[in-house]
Amino acid sequence: MTGASVLTHCPYCALQCAMALTPDAGSTEAPGTDAPATDAPGRVTVSGRDFPTNRGGLCKKGWTSAELLSSPDRILEPMLRQADGTFAPASWDEALDLVAGTLRSTRAEHGADAVGVFGGGGLTNEKAYQLGKFTRLALGSSRIDYNGRFCMSSAAAAGNRAFGLDRGLPFRVEDLDRAGTILILGSNVAQTMPPFIIHLEGARAAGGLVVVDPRRTATARLTDDGAGMHVQPTPGSDLVLLLGLTHIVIAEKLVDTAYVAARTTGFDALRRSVSQWWPERVQQQTGVPVWQLRELARRLAGGSTADRVQGRGTYILTGRGVEQHADGTDTATAAINLSLVLGLVGTSHSGYGTLTGQGNGQGGREHGQKCDQLPGYRKIDDPAARAHVAGVWGVEPDSLPGVGIPAVELLTTLGKPGGVRCLLVHGSNVVVSAPNADRVRAGLKALDFLVVADFFFSETAVLADVVLPVTQWAEEEGTMTSLEGRVIRRRIAAAAPTGVRSELWIFHELARRLNAPSTFSAEPSEVFDELCRASAGGLADYSGLSYALLDTETPAFWPYPQGSTGTPRLFLERFAHADERAHLVAVRARSLPEVAQRGGELTLITGRLLEHYQSGTQTRRVSELNAARPDARLQVHPATAAQLGIVDDGWVELTSPRGTVRCQATVTVDIRFDTVFLPFHFAGDQRANLLTDDATDPISGMPEFKKTAVHVRALVEARHV
């Protein structure tokens, strides 16, 4: 006998595939908000369910996600570090009294900004909202940011300056089904969100799927057999590639001139800025042949006109591969510029979008856990925004702190004079995910006090003074916002272990102990209602939403102001700037130095595998996934491997000025000869981010993950990591 199925969504990526969770026979679960806690969580069965984004399909991670609920690695009660470095269990009162007392004394001695908070793009909207509110009211600190700074910030900055608004996909995912041409730059969706590829079938059938990636990924292979084109530029040259494509579109008079005149500003400056990027020069800088550049530009332009007659549109989609650079904002801007001169954006049949990665990467950057942000995607230094949110919170606007500092900069201040002395981490594993990871680890160890809320002892949690065990996705109520701006419901399907608590409850208890102003409800629906009021009138307006509405499975795309039915497709009538136009922003690229091939110096790019997610805190604890991909492996081209004496399955060592990684090699023609690839999910001395630089984009604060100069050598003796 089984219990009633509970409709919810996958705990992993931003596609947020719909699933049903069914308690198994003999389970102690009692689905619903009043589900009792238990020390022996029952098991649930996962099944896919029909939904526009995944149509019943799930990837390996989704099918195996329920294993996380009963993992033997689960933290079941608060843990306090002892004098000898070990952990011992404690009561919740003991743990929270210690946390509150330390936060209070640190603020008194060193000021409010000596306390920092680091959030995550996997937190529900309710938790992200309450985390931002807690930081600014209960702690009085400006020092909050989150791991979305590592994956979405450049695309967000580009969208804001071009359109006046950032929503990853300003259209429905299912709209891609009708496309005749889809250009994907820097995203391996076939492995990172496999159910997404069903939406590429129309473009493949039309021969119009184009994938830009230095690797021949699973997504790039979808272009085989006449389905499209794989463009393989040198790492870090995407900006030049996009400038060159725009040059061709303008030079060959492929611009949608009526659209540009009616709906954009800045074309003359853009035209001048791309004039220097003629095809032969772009070929020299990117390695992409002139014929392919011209064919691609003409395909995009032809798709935006001829296919339109047949009702088939053209879409340009970007991912982290073009955004995780020190010039990532400009690169994303260049992709938007190309989309605008082709007349793709704000139409009923075509578009531009960026593929959000983390489960709530979209909602997580809308409601206050970014250092410069208040709920509703408001700017914290905007007096009107401060007044509105302060009114909802029942405090004076002047009591709110100002703009903080972005994630990488925040992490560099850890333990330093005038920097953060106490840090609270929610939903992030920065020891694995942050650039220049050893420096981050050293900063965490230098703190006076570290508190980590997590399900498991992540590589960050093992450094903490206090570890607080929190509920997982199937044990909590809440909302998420998918990559298409759709707000969806997360529902309880399994009871949490007795000693585990929701982060909303933790914020409530700490706020009470700190005598914080305003209220901090532990009830998700109450927090969501407050979030909706706080977001009213903002760019990300949720004010017309409620749990009652979302429980009907009504499609809910923000902005969703009161009295509306939501906005599945943005910009049909106007853009979000005051002049209602899209802004073409001229950007420039420096000449790219050639990467030396002598002595084993290569360019490292990092990314994800099908079986794993983010820092691997969850997926490395799922037996099937970990068995399939237990370790990091370096992809290297056969010619390069032969030159360096590397053999397939042989051990290699990668070094950069920041650290060393040792792992086994996979010799494959699926990568350029001047490039190597390493996944970033693994721990210890297989952490890819031991190598990456913490230099950042000056606009977005995005780190440079996708172009790291490394020295690679073969290890004579096998080394077990």
Structure tokens, 587:
């950007």
Task: Report whether pLDDT(36) > 50.
Answer: no
Weakest-pLDDT range from 1-10, 175-184, 408-417:
1-10
Within a domain: 487: yes
Look at 310 and 96; give whichever has higher pLDDT.
96
Mean pLDDT in residue range 578-589: 97
Mean pLDDT in residue range 44-49: 94
Residue 281 burial class via C-beta count within 10 angstroms: exposed 0-12, middle 13-18, buried 19 and up: middle
Residue 720: predicted pLDDT: 46
Residue 305: predicted pLDDT: 59
Residue that finishes a domain, picked among 354, 377, 404: 354
C-alpha to C-alpha distances, 67 to 11, 148, 361, nearest whole angstrom: 12, 26, 23
Task: Report whether pLDDT(157) > 80.
Answer: yes
Domain encompassing residue 287: 153-354
Residue 28's pLDDT band, with cuts at 50, 70 and 90, is very low
Task: Report whether pLDDT(269) > 50.
Answer: yes
- As a whole number, the mean pLDDT across the chain is 93
pLDDT digits (tens, 9 = 90+) for 686-698: 999 999 999 999 9
Mean pLDDT in residue range 396-403: 98
How many separate domains does the chain show?
4
Same domain, 147 and 158: no
Phi, psi of 26 (to 5 degrees): 80, 0
pLDDT digits (tens, 9 = 90+) for 216-227: 999 999 999 999
Could you identify the residue written with the tokens 């209960």? 138
Same domain, 402 and 308: no
Look at 309 and 451; give whichever has higher pLDDT.
451
pLDDT digits (tens, 9 = 90+) for 569-578: 999 999 999 9
Within a domain: 21: yes
Within a domain: 114: yes
C-alpha to C-alpha distances, 644 to 111, 464, 639, 647, 709, nearest whole angstrom: 53, 41, 9, 9, 16
Question: What is the bridge-based pairing of β-strands 115-119 and 422-426?
Answer: parallel
Residue 29's pLDDT band, with cuts at 50, 70 and 90, is very low
Same domain, 613 and 634: yes
Residue 599: predicted pLDDT: 60
Residue 4: predicted pLDDT: 87
Task: Judge contact between 145 and 404, C-beta under 8 A.
Answer: yes
Task: Report whether pLDDT(669) > 90.
Answer: yes
pTM of the predicted protein model? 0.94
Residue 429: predicted pLDDT: 96
Within a domain: 305: yes
In the chain, % of residues over pLDDT 70: 94
Return the closest-CA partner of residue 408 out of 132, 693, 605, 701.
701
Residue 593's pLDDT band, with cuts at 50, 70 and 90, is very low
* Amino acid type, 303: G
Same domain, 321 and 449: no
pLDDT digits (tens, 9 = 90+) for 422-435: 999 999 999 999 99
Mean pLDDT in residue range 38-46: 68
Mean pLDDT in residue range 129-136: 98
Same domain, 30 and 122: no
Residue that finishes a domain, picked among 497, 520, 543: 520
